[in-house]
Amino acid sequence: MTDTAPPLGGSPRSAAEIGSQTSAQQVTVRAPGPAELADSPFLRACRREPVPHTPVWFMRQAGRSLPEYRKVREGIAMLDSCRRPDLVTEITLQPVRRHHVDAAIFYSDIVVPLVAIGIGLDIVSGVGPVIDEPIRTAADVERLRPLGPDDVPYVTEAVRSLVGELGAVPLIGFAGAPFTLASYLVEGGPSRTHARTKALMYGRPDVWHALCGRLAQIASAFLRVQVDAGASAVQLFDSWAGALSEADYREYVQPHSARVLADLAETGVPKIHFGVGTAELLPAMGEAGADVVGVDWRTPLSVASGRIGPDKAVQGNLDPAVLLADPHVVEQHVTRVLADGAAAPGHIFNLGHGVLPETDPDVLTRVVELVHERSAQPVTRPN
């Protein structure tokens, strides 16, 4: 039995109209009370509280692995899709309908706030963000102005729409961390070596810190817009932080990520901090101020939790490539991640990076079922 989400008034093309073209299973939508949403397994795990089952969601769960996503995105550029609240709503909801994940993550891109303040760039297929005029001097840094809510009204509209449609499923807002945004801006696009980024960092630390200071404001403002509109948690993505030594991370990066997270402290929403290749950075990332630290597939969660400390939950960390293997292999690895995660004070099941485009959606659905089945336990709450 399926229910279709109600149409969104005022949209050029409503989410319900878009969703009616897909074959994914729909969920019944109802408005939760604040207590019901706060009691969700995902938010309880963020707070390191007992959960009825380990919550699960996937980075890039709304994306190219879903045929319904490919259908609604056909002929629409990435950045254009991020500025359409009807599409953002529909795409964010798709994996919730299909997989019954425990949280939705806002559909956007880490460069959206950069575009909103006037940085010229394009997301090139097969390449990633390409910057028209890279930021490499003190004068270039002056081109970065602060971000305000009026710069991204489409984000506010989409988040409000999603909160109404998701019911008791929490919505995660997100932003790119200052280092990762800086790397794109300095390099002019993706980089394997981050050589220009490091050259600026080492050679002109004054310019580097000025750049990251402005990017910290942009990232925190972008997250604050999402929280003010109703997001229940946030994730700060530092995709390229693993290119740094721990000493360099602490000196050149951690203060700026810490500022982003500190700026959100008064909101009370859980904060997740994630990077790739960050095994040696985990203690420093934990100290930056998040409630949950995301871990990639290279480090067992039990080891990661020991490095991060007892006052943080962990998120992760199935290798995305495992999902391309035979079902029994997937099951073995899911079981292993759950066992490892049980050593942490709180665990949110996720991948160690984003869902690969060639992943079979049915495998993701089965992983959600496995996680819920294998981790189910009674929860005793105080009267």
For the chain, what are the domain ranges? 41-375
* 123 bridge partner residues: 129
Spans of the chain, pLDDT less than 70: 1-34, 380-383
Question: For residue 11, what pLDDT is reported?
Answer: 35
Answer yes or no: is 60 a known binding residue. Answer: yes
Q: Count Cβ atoms within 10 A of the Cβ of residue 100 and give its class: 0-12 exposed, 13-18 middle, 19 or more buried.
A: middle
Answer yes or no: is 103 a known binding residue. Answer: no
Answer yes or no: is 62 a known binding residue. Answer: yes
Q: Which residues are catalytic?
A: 60, 64, 73, 109, 184
Question: For residue 31, what pLDDT is reported?
Answer: 46
Look up residue 261 and give its two tokens: 């997270």
Helix spans in the chain (H): 15-19, 34-38, 41-46, 67-73, 78-82, 85-99, 112-116, 138-141, 153-166, 178-187, 195-203, 205-229, 246-248, 254-263, 282-287, 301-308, 327-341, 361-375
Q: How confident is the model over 155-182, as pLDDT tens digits?
A: 999 999 999 999 999 999 999 999 999 9
Contact yes or no for 367/325 (Cβ under 8 A): no
- Annotate 128-164 with b (16+ C-beta within 10 A) or e (fewer): ebbbeeebbeeeebeebeebeeebbebbbbbbbbbbb
Answer yes or no: is 353 a known binding residue. Answer: yes
Look up residue 173 and give its two tokens: 């807002």
Answer yes or no: is 64 a known binding residue. Answer: yes
3-class state of residue 225 by DSSP: helix
Tell me the backbone φ, ψ of residue 77, rounded to 5 degrees.
-65, 150
Taking the model in full, what pTM does it have?
0.90
Q: Which residues contact 128 (CB under 8 A, 6 or more apart)?
A: 184, 189, 190
Q: What is the CA radius of gyration of the chain?
A: 20
What's the CA gap between 328 and 334, in Å, rounded? 10
Question: For residue 125, what pLDDT is reported?
Answer: 86
Answer yes or no: is 183 a known binding residue. Answer: no
Answer yes or no: is 63 a known binding residue. Answer: yes
Topology of the domain comprising 41-375: TIM Barrel (3.20.20)
Whether omega for the bond prior to residue 317 falls within 30 degrees of 0, making it cis, is yes
